Amino acid sequence: MHTACPRCDSHRIIQTHYGRKVGGTVGTTAGAISGAVSASKGARLGYTVGAIAGPTGAASGAVLGAIVGGLSGCVVGVRLGEKLDEDVLQGYRCLACEHRFSPHPSS
Ligand SMILES: [Zn+2]
């Protein structure tokens, strides 16, 4: 992608992923917490499996709930962060004049 600075027309542009990084971290944490909290579903599944596999099944069910929650939370967080990067945080920065601008395609 070739992007020029709208202010000074420089091509020394870097893309910032601040929102994406923050969104991913926040999303993963929030997802893992809500996954662990709502792990009753996973635990219940674990208990069902646990009837066959033993008491470790319940524990791994809860862990599975946290992992699944964390993963889906990360995906949502990264998407949210990408939107933030585009709309709020302005995804590009000019190294020549420090101008920040949004990656809205002009053509
Ligand atoms: Zn510039």
Distance CA 64, CA 75 (A): 17
Pairing of strands 13-15, 100-101: unpaired
- Say how many Å lie between the CA of residue 104 and the centre of ligand 1: 16
User: Which residues have beta carbons under 5 A from ligand 1 (an ion)?
Assistant: 5, 7-8, 10, 94, 96-97, 99
Full pLDDT tens readout for the chain, 107 residues: 567 899 999 999 888 776 667 777 777 777 777 766 665 555 565 556 555 666 566 667 667 777 777 777 777 777 777 777 666 666 788 999 998 887 665 44
Beta bridge partners of 94: 13
- pTM score, two decimals? 0.39
Cα 82 to middle of ligand 1, angstroms: 22
Instruction: Please state, as a whole number, how many other Cβ atoms lie within 10 Å of the Cβ of residue 105.
Output: 6
Residue 101 CA to ligand 1 centre (angstroms):
9
Please report the pLDDT score of residue 107 as a whole number: 45
Domain boundaries, the chain: 15-101
Query: What is the C-alpha radius of gyration for the chain, rounded to an integer number of angstroms?
Result: 21
